[in-house]
Each structure stands twice: as structure tokens, then as C-alpha cells.
Amino acid sequence: MPFLLRKLFLLATFILAGCNLPRAGVIPVVTETATAPAASTTPTDTVVPPTNPVELGLAENPLILSMLPSTTAHTQAQIDAAKVIASQITERTGYAVVTVITDSYTALVEAIENGNAHIVLLDPYAYELAYQRDAVRAAFAVVKDETGKYGAQFIAPREEGFKSYFNPIIEENFPSADAATALQQLTDKKPCWSDETSASGYVIPLGYLNSNQVVTRPAAFVEGHPTVVRSLYAGGICDFGATYIDARKFPSLEDEFPDLVEQVIVIWRIPDIIPYEVLAFSTDMPQGMHELISNVIPAILQTEAGKAAFKTAYDIEELEAVNDGFYEDFRIYVKESGVDLATLVK
């Protein structure tokens, strides 16, 4: 073949070959009720980020509504309820929405960070961890007993001689009382804590002690708020403890020890700073999308089908619109506790 023809032939070959070069990777679409892979999973293929990412909320890159993490299979009713919520969001916004299931809050936080979850219900520790990683913004507080947060209390046996800064008649701390004054008397005393992950029975009370420079003796973890109360009533185990409000009135305790409330007193109450679950949105959401879905969710809850779906899928009956500032006090005292937040997320 003449030299000029050979050059033209080779040039044509390269041009044609270029037409078949591999395209940039496409973001995988998460199918409904698919389980998000654990972070430790080793990928079999390397996904190349697309040069022109698909807009969030389109069918090729849907919003992902996460169901509650569970190590056991969800019921069909729960799965169907989540699909009802997803479909109503789609109907009211036009955004494509699918559902996903993870087996733990740790996996769910990782899914949020990886763009595999956008609308999530988180326990307080998982929310705080995801917030610290700039992965979520709070949208709604789950409301129980007409509030989105609850408190705790420091209690002790009356016979130990601690001074109470709490008025049991009106169930409030004395107006002149403050945590520093009330808690200094616990210095070098032995606490009974519920367990190592309890917000009201360990983490937040410990945060209050630390923030007020109250150093105690090594604690006893007695497994359960009623057990904290029982231990203080029995005596000889620890000097004081902390519980939710008001664990002293747990039915079996009241039946067994009729004088318990008189014998185990409240020293000081922690205000309502501990949240119930938090409905949060991924920071991948554009602000306009965040605002639109924030308006849509209460409207869904007002429908009979939507209310039933939230109850079945998430055990939610009422929500309160909030922002991240709503949880600032909780954030402060979790940090003051010195407990590694990652160890509290299960």
C-alpha cells in the first residue's frame, strides 16, 4: 500500500476507535428498599465520577429516603409505608424518591456521607455525628408528650445528707439554684450510671459534672434507670445517680417501695436538652430543595394516609420544625462528657 494511503488508513482507524472510548461513569441508581453497602465493603469496580453530574432529584439521581436502621428484616407494612411517603414527596415536588435500608446507624451515617441517603431519621448521637461531619442539617424534631426534648435528674438517698436544690411541689429547680452550686456537693462521691450509652443516665449528666469541674470516684454501671433508683434506695452501692424524669415512679418500684420518692430525692434537674429522634436532610440537598421538602412533609402528615405511613414506618405521630441550633445544648454537654461520640452510634 502506498505510504500516503497507509497514513490515511491509520488516521481513519484512530478516529473510529475514538468513537468507542468508554464514557465517564454514571452514578448508580439505588433501587427501592435496597440495602446500602457497608463502608467496609471492597468495591469490585472503580466508579469514575461523572464529568457532568446528574441533578439530584431526577430519575437518574433520585432522592433517597432511608428507613430506620435494623439488623432484622423490616415488615412488609413498614416497607410499604416508606414507599407511600416517598410517593407523596414525589407527587408534591416532582422529585424522584426511592427508599433504602441500612443495618445500623453507623452504616446510615456512612451512607449519608457517600450520597446514598438524603432524608433520614437519626437518633441523637447519630445526628450529632453526622452534623459534626457536615453531612446533615436538622429539619424536624420528633415530638413526644408535646416536646421534642427531655431532661434528666440527679438523685441521691435522703440519708446521705445531700442538699436538694429542687422543689418537688412545682417540680422545678429553685430559682436561685444553678448547676455549679448544686453539683459541687457530689465531688469525690461515687455515681451509679445506667449504661455507657444512656443520654439521661450517663452521658449528659457526666457532661454537666465535667463542665462544673466536679470530679467523682469511679462509677458503677448498673444497667437500667430503675436499677439506679433501686441501688440508691438499698444503699451501700453508690452515693448518687442520674436518670430520666422521673424513674423513681417506675410502676414496679412504686409498688415495691411505697416510700421511695421520700427516701430517694432529686438534688437537681437537668433542663430539657436531650432530643428524641431527628429528621434531617443531607447537606447534598440544595437549599431550595431543602425548603420545599420541609414544607411538604407537614402537609403529608396532615393526610390520613401520610399520618398512618409515618406512624408505621418511623413511629412518628408529630414533628416540630427545627434547625441545628435547637440541639446546641445537647451538643455542648455531649462534648463536655468526653465520651467518644463514634462509640455511642450503633
Span 115-137, pLDDT tens digits:
999 999 999 999 999 999 999 99
Would you say residue 303 lies in a domain?
yes
- Judge if 70 and 210 occupy the same domain: no
- Judge if 80 and 193 occupy the same domain: no
Q: What backbone phi and psi angles, to 5 degrees, belong to 68?
A: -65, 135
For the residues 280-297, what does the mean pLDDT come to?
A: 98
Residue 16 has what pLDDT? 34
- Judge if 79 and 126 occupy the same domain: yes
- Judge if 154 and 267 occupy the same domain: yes
Instruction: Give, in degrees to the nearest 5, the angle at Cα 28 between 98 and 87.
Output: 10
- Judge if 199 and 337 occupy the same domain: no
Instruction: Give, in degrees to the nearest 5, the angle at Cα 296 between 291 and 298.
Output: 110
pLDDT averaged over every residue in the chain? 88
72: pLDDT strictly greater than 50? yes
For the residues 158-167, what does the mean pLDDT come to?
A: 96
Boundary-marking domain end, from 274, 308, 333: 274
Chain center to CA of 215 = 29
DSSP 173-214: E-TT--HHHHHGGGTTPPEEES-TT-IIIIIHHHHHHHHTT-
- Judge if 142 and 153 occupy the same domain: no
C-alpha cell at 122: 437519626
What is the H or E stretch that residue 118 is in?
A: none
- The pTM score is 0.84
Indicate which CATH number applies to the domain containing 94.
3.40.190.10
- Judge if 199 and 254 occupy the same domain: yes
More confident residue, 143 or 37: 143
Boundary-marking domain end, from 274, 291, 314: 274
- Judge if 189 and 88 occupy the same domain: no
**Which residue segment(s) compose the domain that 155 sits in?**
149-274
Band the pLDDT of 192: cuts 50, 70, 90.
Answer: very high
Would you say residue 12 lies in a domain?
no
Would you say residue 203 lies in a domain?
yes
The mean-pLDDT minimum among 11-20, 161-170, 233-242, 310-319 falls in 11-20
Would you say residue 192 lies in a domain?
yes
Share of the chain above pLDDT 90, in %: 82
- Judge if 224 and 265 occupy the same domain: yes
The mean-pLDDT minimum among 1-10, 71-80, 177-186 falls in 1-10
Do 291 and 95 touch, CB atoms closer than 8 A? no
**How many domains does the chain divide into?**
2
For the residues 248-258, what does the mean pLDDT come to?
A: 93
Do 245 and 92 touch, CB atoms closer than 8 A? no
More confident residue, 147 or 3: 147
- Judge if 249 and 301 occupy the same domain: no
Would you say residue 69 lies in a domain?
yes
For the residues 235-243, what does the mean pLDDT come to?
A: 97
Q: What backbone phi and psi angles, to 5 degrees, belong to 279?
A: -90, 115
Alpha helices for the chain (secondary structure H): 3-18, 76-93, 105-113, 124-132, 179-183, 204-211, 225-234, 251-256, 260-263, 287-301, 304-314, 328-337, 341-344
Cα(first)–Cα(last) distance of the chain, in Å? 71
Would you say residue 168 lies in a domain?
yes
For the residues 37-45, what does the mean pLDDT come to?
A: 37
Would you say residue 19 lies in a domain?
no
Residue 254 has what pLDDT? 86
- Judge if 101 and 159 occupy the same domain: no
- Judge if 251 and 334 occupy the same domain: no
The mean-pLDDT minimum among 50-54, 99-103, 146-150, 257-261 falls in 50-54
Would you say residue 127 lies in a domain?
yes
Boundary-marking domain end, from 274, 290, 308: 274
